[in-house]
């Protein structure tokens, strides 16, 4: 599973980084940033879904399967 982040929507609530610090970090103002390429570590998919569900501005989404394979 791979996640994408729309940084323009992020309002700095930080739930994503609390649920999944392996994938999200917060910048100095508290806005989310992806660590690396957004790939969720195996076994942590439930935390990725929780991060998506808990984002009040819907800034986090699962990347399309084609994107994960490197196709557009």
Sequence-separated contacts (24+) of 7-13 with Cβ below 8 Å: 7/31, 7/32, 7/33, 7/59, 9/57, 9/58, 9/59, 10/57, 10/59, 11/56, 11/57, 11/59, 13/55, 13/56, 13/57
pTM for the model: 0.83
The third-level CATH classification (topology) of the domain covering 3-68 is Alpha-Beta Plaits (3.30.70)
Q: What is the mean pLDDT of each run of 10 residues along the chain (72 residues)?
A: 96 97 97 95 97 97 65 46
């Amino acid at each position: 599973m791979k996640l994408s982040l729309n940084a323009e929507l992020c309002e700095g609530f930080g739930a994503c980084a609390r649920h999944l610090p392996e994938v999200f970090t917060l910048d100095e103002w508290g806005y989310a940033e992806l660590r690396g390429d957004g790939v969720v570590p195996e076994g942590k998919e439930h935390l990725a879904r929780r991060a998506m569900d808990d984002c009040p501005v819907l800034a986090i989404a699962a990347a399309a399967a084609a994107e994960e394979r490197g196709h557009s």
